[in-house]
Structure formats: structure tokens, C-alpha cells
């Protein structure tokens, strides 16, 4: 039996589609249905590595966890990872498949046909295994110049036979125009599939919007199935758009961590565990000056290490990091951040950068890196070898191009197969292991060495999913949504 399908479209990017799909996956699972998430085509630099070593969007991994499932690349068969304004690396069925140029979005090209084949095959496999598939659209479904070739919205909605919900962000303003305009611009066949609108991120008393709700329903000729309040909790974000206002809630007397925001920052989900720790504040930093009371400086991953390293030198960021380290203050590099901490990053084949073949590193760690098309995507476990943290277990995944020649002591020793990972010198260390801070004992021990004193237990992604799903359940007409997938 083919699964019933429910799809969340959005009036724009970053209106809350991913989170609503996460909540619906959890609520439908709790209702006793076998449910799986699906996003046909995602453009994001936050990626996750599956058990089989495939890449997929991190948001779809969170949605899988909400559904009680192990993430698989079928849940996100096409992932585009921007390396510049006009080019993205294409991840097809979890594996690199060259580059996707801007023209591939608006023309019937072989790459686009291959992407559509991957999308429909993946969806059909899921639809044969589960009772309900909750699909997530991408951006707006009514970009008129792109609609004819858009794979992530109307095309897959038709293929799945999905009932449609439209999500809108009321917090950013203009919700009447965005909802009514989107509904009116939908093709007639998709408009007929539209079952309702969900307004997300409402601040204040929802009762004050009762008249607005009636007006919107009349103008859009579509029922409003929920007005969801602004939720101050934290779930892993899909992409860098969220960084515009992302920081953990500041508290007086807390430990402050600074994360440098590269132009092509990737996998900043590595730092989500800090958002759930009491007494820790995370701030994403532009070029210096930076707050003087930061306890540590973290260099995150990037999809374009050479360009972002060059940007760091051009903006004074690299010199500021060096001064920070020379002053004896802690610096950590993850993946691309690790590569930058070495002596140089070479990209002779322009694997990431179209501009640079070699960029000098920060020369804070004894390593050098050569980028090649060969990509490492693997889950890993290991033991910490950092001074004062020896013997603590870590786990995560590697996701990087090329290799680094390490000449110093390892930060971690990974198993299966046994190999050194990263390195350290004094208070500076780096690793390729995304997700290493997910390990509670290691994370908390490292924070304590920075002067942190916990005043309560850490939350978890599971607790955040459960809390968010309960917020949605209380503020949407879930019984009507359930009817859409039970008929």
C-alpha cells in the first residue's frame, strides 16, 4: 500500500517548515502511525552522515529522530551545498556527484533529470514502507520564474498526491500579503490540494488575532488550522539563514563561547549541545573586535576552506585568532576550522575554491592540508587524548574533502579502523570529528576546564523535539490534520 502524503509548503524560506515537519512527525508517530519525513531537494550546509556513510540534510535527520527512525539518504535524496554565489556541490543519493550550476535550476539538463529520478525513486521506496510521509517544501512554491523546473515543491507534491499545508511566519510581518499572494499564485491543481494555513512564531496573546484569522481565511479562501506561538526553545537549524538572529539566551554570569561565522559556515549544528547546557551562552561572531570575556573561541566547519581562510586574513579575523592563541586563550577548530589552524590549505584542483590554490594557515597547529575530490564521510567513535581529558569517549562523524598531514599528538584516537584524529598544542586543538560535543562527559569536562560550573542537567535534542511537538499540538487543529492522512 502506498503511503498517504502530507506536505508543508512555505510562503518563503525560514518560516518554520522544517520545525513544523519535525513536530508533525512526532505527533503522527505518537498517534500510532508509521511516519517518515522527506525533503526532495535541500540547499543547506548543515549535513549529517548516515550509518552507511551517506550525506543528507541535518534537518531531515532531526525529523527522522522525531519519527523514531534512523536517518537515511532516501529522506533527502538531493542535497545542494553552496560553494559560491552560482555553484553548489551536488550530493545525489548521499554521494558527491559534481557541481550544480545556477543554470541547472532553470533548464531541462541531464543533472536535473538525474536529480528527479533520484527524488522519485527515494520517495517511492519510503512510500512503500511507511503509512504516512510528511514532505517539506523548499523556499516558496510560487517563484514564477522557477516553477516550471522546481523539483522540491509542486512536482513532488503531485508525484506523492500530497495534501498541502502552507506555513507562514507571522513574526516577520506581512503575513496577509504573503499567505494570500502565495495561495493566489499556486497552480489551480495545487490550490485544490491546499487543506489549510499554519501561522508560525506568533508573539503575544493569540486571541488578539481572532479577527485577523477570520479576515485571512476569507481573503485566502483557506482555513487557518493553527496559530503557533513563538517558541524560545532550540532545535538544530537547517542552514545559515538562521544565523542572522541565532544565539543562545544570554544569562548573567554564564560561560560565553564564541563561534566564528565564516561566509560559508557549515555544520554549526556541532554546537547545539551548548544551547541545551545551563549556564552556557553561544554567540556567532563576525570579524573582530569580539567580546573580551569569551571563555573560548571556536572555528567551525566551512564548505569552502580556502575562500573563508582568505576572508579571515582580509578581515583581520585570522590575526585576531592568532593574538587570542598567543595570549594563552583556548581556541578549537572543527573540520575546516582544524584545517585553518595548520600551516597551509592547498586546493590544487580547485575542489572547493575557484579562486585559490594555496592559502597560508594560522600556523597554530602542526599540520597541513591538501584538498582533493576524494571525500571522507564516515561515522566514528574514539577516545580523547587532550591533556586533562584523556580517556573520555567521543563519537560523531567525519565529513571533509582531502586529507591533513598531522605532525603533533592526536586530539582523539578513533577506532574502526584505529587512526589518530586532529592534534593539539598548548591550549589550541582541533578535530575532524563533527558532533564530538554531543558526548556529555567530554563536553562537560571541557567546559569545566574553561571555568564552567553546572547548575543543572543538560537538555537533549529528544527533549527539545518533545517540547516543540507539544507546543504545536496545543495550537493547531491536529484532529483535522490527522483526518488528512487517515482518509
Q: Give the residue from 308, 271, 373, 333 showing the smallest Cα distance to 58.
A: 271
d(CA 371, CA 190): 45
Rg (CA), the chain: 23
Annotation says 335 is catalytic: yes
Grid cell in block for residue 404: 591533513
Length of the chain: 487
d(CA 200, CA 116): 30
Three-state secondary structure of 132-153: EEEEECCCCCCCCCCHHHCHHH
Asked whether the beta carbons of 134 and 6 are under 8 A apart, the reply is: yes
Q: Which residue has the cell 514564477?
A: 144
Catalytic residue among 384, 434, 436, 475: 434
Q: Give the residue from 307, 360, 337, 298 showing the smallest Cα distance to 431.
A: 337
Burial (CB count <10 Å: 0-12, 13-18, 19+), residue 41: buried
Asked whether the beta carbons of 407 and 423 are under 8 A apart, the reply is: yes
d(CA 102, CA 330): 40
What order do you get walking across the sheet with 255-260 strand by strand?
Answer: 280-285, 255-260, 296-299, 331-334, 428-431, 423-425
Catalytic residue among 25, 264, 335, 384: 335
d(CA 116, CA 30): 32
Q: Which residues pair with 90 in a beta bridge?
A: 80
Burial 179-194 (b: 16+ CB within 10 A, else e): bbebbeebeeebeebb
Grid cell in block for residue 223: 482555513
Q: Give the residue from 13, 35, 32 showing the smallest Cα distance to 24.
A: 35
Tell whether the torsion through CA atoms of 54, 117, 12 and 477 is positive or negative.
negative
Annotation says 475 is catalytic: no
CA distance readout (Å), 415 to 154, 338, 384, 432, 445: 45, 20, 12, 14, 22
Query: Could you check whether the bond before residue 289 is cis, i.e. omega within 30 degrees of 0?
Result: yes
Q: Containing H/E element for 193?
A: helix 188-193
Catalytic sites, residue numbers? 335, 434
Amino acid at each position: 500500500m502506498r503511503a498517504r502524503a502530507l506536505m508543508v509548503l512555505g510562503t518563503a524560506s525560514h518560516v518554520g517548515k522544517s520545525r513544523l515537519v519535525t513536530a508533525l512527525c512526532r505527533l503522527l508517530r505518537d498517534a500510532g502511525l508509521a511516519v517518515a519525513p522527506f525533503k526532495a531537494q535541500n540547499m543547506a550546509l548543515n549535513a549529517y552522515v548516515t550509518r552507511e556513510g551517506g550525506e543528507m540534510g541535518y534537518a531531515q535527520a532531526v525529523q527522522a529522530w522525531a519519527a523514531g527512525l534512523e536517518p537515511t539518504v532516501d529522506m533527502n535524496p538531493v542535497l545542494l551545498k553552496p560553494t559560491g554565489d552560482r555553484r553548489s556541490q551536488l550530493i545525489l543519493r548521499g554521494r558527491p556527484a559534481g557541481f550544480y550550476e545556477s543554470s541547472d535550476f532553470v533548464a531541462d539538463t541531464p543533472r536535473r533529470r538525474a536529480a528527479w529520478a533520484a527524488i522519485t525513486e527515494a520517495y517511492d521506496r519510503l512510500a512503500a514502507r511507511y503509512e504516512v510521509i510528511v514532505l517539506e517544501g523548499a523556499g516558496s512554491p510560487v517563484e514564477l520564474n522557477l516553477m516550471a523546473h522546481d523539483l522540491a515543491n509542486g512536482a513532488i507534491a503531485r508525484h506523492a498526491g500530497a495534501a498541502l499545508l502552507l506555513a507562514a511566519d507571522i513574526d516577520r510581518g506581512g503575513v496577509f500579503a504573503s499567505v494570500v499572494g502565495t495561495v493566489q499564485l499556486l497552480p489551480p491543481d495545487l490550490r485544490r490540494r491546499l487543506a489549510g494555513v499554519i501561522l508560525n512564531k506568533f508573539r503575544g496573546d493569540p486571541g488578539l488575532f481572532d479577527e485577523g484569522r477570520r479576515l485571512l481565511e476569507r481573503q485566502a479562501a483557506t482555513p487557518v488550522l493553527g496559530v503557533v506561538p513563538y517558541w524560545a526553545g532550540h532545535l538544530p537549524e537547517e542552514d545559515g539563514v538562521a544565523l542572522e538572529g541565532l544565539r543562545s539566551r544570554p544569562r548573567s554570569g554564564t560561560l560565553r563561547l564564541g563561534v566564528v561565522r565564516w561566509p560559508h559556515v557549515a555544520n554549526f549544528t556541532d554546537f547545539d549541545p551548548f544551547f541545551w547546557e545551563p549556564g552556557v551562552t553561544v554567540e556567532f561572531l563576525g570579524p573582530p573586535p569580539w567580546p573580551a570575556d569569551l571563555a573560548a573561541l571556536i572555528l567551525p566547519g566551512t564548505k569552502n576552506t580556502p575562500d573563508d581562510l582568505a576572508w579571515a586574513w582580509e578581515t583581520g579575523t585570522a590575526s585576531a585568532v592568532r593574538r587570542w592563541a598567543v595570549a594563552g586563550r583556548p581556541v578549537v577548530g572543527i573540520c575546516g576550522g582544524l584545517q585553518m589552524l595548520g600551516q597551509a590549505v592547498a586546493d590544487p584542483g580547485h575542489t572547493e575554491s575557484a579562486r585559490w590554490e594555496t592559502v597560508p594557515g594560522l600556523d597554530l597547529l602542526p599540520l597541513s592540508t591538501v584538498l582533493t575530490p576524494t571525500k571522507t564521510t564516515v561515522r566514528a567513535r574514539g577516545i580523547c587524548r587532550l591533556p586533562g581529558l584523556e580517556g573520555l569517549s567521543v563519537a560523531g562523524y567525519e565529513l571533509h574533502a582531502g586529507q591533513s598531514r598531522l605532525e603533533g599528538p592526536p586530539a582523539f584516537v578513533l577506532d574502526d579502523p584505529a587512526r589518530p584524529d586532529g592534534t593539539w598544542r598548548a591550549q589550541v586543538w582541533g578535530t575532524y570529528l563533527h558532533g564530538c560535543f554531543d558526548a556529555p562527559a567530554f563536553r562537560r569536562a571541557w567546559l569545566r576546564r574553561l571555568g564552567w560550573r553546572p547548575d543543572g542537567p543538560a537538555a537533549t535534542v529528544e527533549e527539545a523535539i518533545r517540547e516543540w511537538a507539544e507546543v504545536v499540538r496545543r495550537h493547531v487543529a491536529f484532529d483535522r490534520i490527522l483526518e488528512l492522512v487517515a482518509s
